[in-house]
Structure 1
C-alpha cells in the first residue's frame, strides 16, 4: 500500500450497511472533513430535474423530481452528469459538494451532481431512472445551461460509476440523449462477485467483499440483476461512448472493472484504463497524498480532453 495512504487506514471507520441511516450520517461526517476547493470561478445553483424527463416516468408516476446541484465554471461549454458514490446507500448533493466542486474546477465543464434516490428505501431502478431523468433534462436544456448538447459526458465514482455505465447502455438502447464520453472511477459493475479481487479482498480498507455484497442486496431489493442494474451483465457493448476507467489496486471492484474495459475494447469502444498502484477504494479522499492528488487531477484532465471542441 502507498505509505502516505497507509498512515490513514487506522482512522477509517469500520462501517457496514447493516444500518443505512447510521451509515449515511457517518458518510456525511467524513465528507464534511474534505477540503472544499475555491468556488469563486464558478456559479453554484440547486435545481430539480422533473422526473417526467425520464422515459420510464410512466412506470413511476409518483417519482419525485430529482435534486441537482449545478456547478457552472465561467466559459464552460460542456457538461458532465455526475453520479456520487456511497454503495447505493449513502450520499447526496451536500456530501458530494467537495468532489463535484473539484471536478468542475479541473474539467472546466458544467457539472450536474445528481441527488438520486437511495437504497434500500428506493431499490433499482429508482437511482437509474433519476440519473436518466437528469441526463434527458440536461440535453433538452443545454441552451439554459450554456453548453453544447453534443458535449455531454456521464461520470461517476463507485456505485455512481456503475450507474453511469448503465446510463450509457440505456441511452444507447433507447436512442436517448447523445453521450460523448463515460468516465467510470472504481465502478461497481457486477453483482456476481466472482472475480479474483471480489473473492479475495475480504479485509481491504473502507470497502471489502462483504460491504459490496450488502450494497448489492440493498440495491437489487431481492430482484434478479440485469445489465441496467449490473452493467457487467450486458452481452453487447458495441456502440457505447468512449470510456475512461480507473481502478484501485486494493479494491474488490478492481478485476470486474478491468474486465469491463477489455470487453469494451473488444467491442470496438476506445478505452483509457488506469490502474492506480498502492491505492484502495475511495482512498482518493485522502487529498494530502500525492497519489490522490494525481488521481483527482486526472479525472478533470480526462474530461477536459474528451469534451474539447
Structure 2
C-alpha cells in the first residue's frame, strides 16, 4: 500500500494535470524522450562553445555565456543540468543560471557531461570536474574571478554538483566559493521515506524512475563499490565544504536525502541553507516557473546567492 504523502501545492496540482507524467522509465521510453532537445537559448549574452578533454580524451562540450558588456572579473556559475543522468543536455534548465547572469553579471558555464547508460560509474562526475578545472585554469581569459566560482545544478545536476565539490575538496583544487544543490539526486539507495511515498503512481520523478536512472549510472558496480563522488550521500565526511544552498519540495522523492545532506553538513561544522517548499514536487520551479511557489523559490535562492557573492 502506498504510504500517505504530503499534498501537492494546489496551483502546481492544477498545472501538472495538463502535463504528461510517468510512473517508470524504460529503455524504449528513454529513447523517445531523448529525441526532444532542449528549446533554443533565448539570451542576449555572448556565447562561446568549447570542448575540453575528459580523462580518457573524449571531448566534453562546454558553453560559456558572458554578459554582453562585461567589465572586470565576474562571478561564475558552473551549471550541471538535470535529467536523471540519463537525459537532457547542457541547455536543460539553462534559464535558471541565466537569471544570475542578468542579475549579477555572472559568467555562466554549462557542461555536456556524458549520459548513462552509455557512460557509467565516475565518468559523468569526472566529465563535470574536468570542465570545472578548465574554467578555473582559464578564469582570466573568461573574465572570471577565480575566488567566486559557484558550482550549481538541478536534480541529477545537483547530485553531480555535490560530487564535483567533494572531488575538488579531496584533490585540493579548484577553489569553489559555494555550491547550489537544487532538488539534488544524492543517494543511489533509494530507500528513504520520501522515496517510498512517491512510488506506484505517475509523477514528475518517482521511486521507479529513480531506480532505473541509478541502475543505468552504476552499471556493473556492486553496491559496496559505489564511490561517494557518484552517490554523495555515501560520503562519510562532509567537513571542509563551501557554503551550501539546498532546496527541495515536501512532495518529492528526494526530500529526505536532501534534508539529510544539509543536516550532515551542519553536523560537520559547515554552513548550509536549507529550504523545503511545502507542496513542491520534484523540479517544480523549472516545470511551472510562473507558479507562486516557484517564483518564491527562485527569488529566495537568488537572494542567497547575492549575499554569498557579496560576502
Q: Same fold by TM-score, threshold 0.5 exceeded? A: yes
The worse-fitting range, judged by mean Cα deviation, of 152-161 and 7-16 is 7-16
Q: Which residue of 2 aligns with 1:182?
A: 179
Q: Is the Cα–Cα contact under 8 Å of residues 80 and 90 in structure 2 kept in the other structure?
A: no
Q: Flag the 1:21–1:103 CA change in 2: closer, same or farther, 3 A.
A: farther
Which among 133, 139, 146 is matched to residue 149 of structure 1? Answer: 146
Deviation at 1:103, TM superposition (A): 4.0
Deviation at 1:199, TM superposition (A): 1.6
Q: Which residue of 1 aligns with 2:17?
A: 10
Q: Which residue of 1 aligns with 2:3?
A: none
Question: For each residue in 1:168-191, what CA deviation from the matched residue of structure 2 results, as whole angstroms up to 9, or x when unmatched?
Answer: 111111112011101100001111
Measure, in 1, the Cα distance between the counterparts of 2:202 and 2:278.
Answer: 14
Measure, in 2, the Cα distance between the counterparts of 1:273 and 1:5.
Answer: 21
Q: Is the Cα–Cα contact under 8 Å of residues 185 and 246 in structure 1 kept in the other structure?
A: yes
Q: Is the Cα–Cα contact under 8 Å of residues 78 and 110 in structure 1 kept in the other structure?
A: yes
Deviation at 1:99, TM superposition (A): 3.5
Pairing 1:156-195 to 2, within 5 Å after superposition: 156-195=153-192
Q: Flag the 1:247–1:188 CA change in 2: closer, same or farther, 3 A.
A: same
Deviation at 1:298, TM superposition (A): 3.0
Q: Which residue of 1 aligns with 2:255?
A: 254
RMSD: 1.9
3-state SS in 2 of match to 1:275: strand
* Alignment of 1:47 onto 2:66: no
The worse-fitting range, judged by mean Cα deviation, of 193-202 and 268-277 is 193-202
Pairing 1:91-240 to 2, within 5 Å after superposition: 91-202=88-199, 203=201, 205-224=203-222, 225-240=226-241
* Alignment of 1:72 onto 2:87: no
Relative to the length of structure 1, the TM-score reads 0.89
Question: For each residue in 1:32-91, what CA deviation from the matched residue of structure 2 results, as whole angstroms up to 9, or x when unmatched?
Answer: 3xx966x23x3222222232xxxxx2xx2xx32211111212346111111000000111
Measure, in 2, the Cα distance between the counterparts of 1:97 and 1:242.
Answer: 22
Measure, in 1, the Cα distance between the counterparts of 2:211 and 2:41.
Answer: 31
Q: Flag the 1:196–1:123 CA change in 2: closer, same or farther, 3 A.
A: same
Measure, in 2, the Cα distance between the counterparts of 1:298 and 1:46.
Answer: 30
Measure, in 1, the Cα distance between the counterparts of 2:300 and 2:79.
Answer: 16
Q: Is the Cα–Cα contact under 8 Å of residues 183 and 254 in structure 2 kept in the other structure?
A: yes
3-state SS in 1 of match to 2:278: strand
* Alignment of 1:25 onto 2:26: no
Deviation at 1:306, TM superposition (A): 1.6
3-state SS in 2 of match to 1:250: coil
Deviation at 1:232, TM superposition (A): 0.4
* Alignment of 1:307 onto 2:309: yes
Measure, in 2, the Cα distance between the counterparts of 1:107 and 1:210.
Answer: 39
Measure, in 2, the Cα distance between the counterparts of 1:165 and 1:200.
Answer: 24
Relative to the length of structure 2, the TM-score reads 0.88
Measure, in 2, the Cα distance between the counterparts of 1:268 and 1:187.
Answer: 21
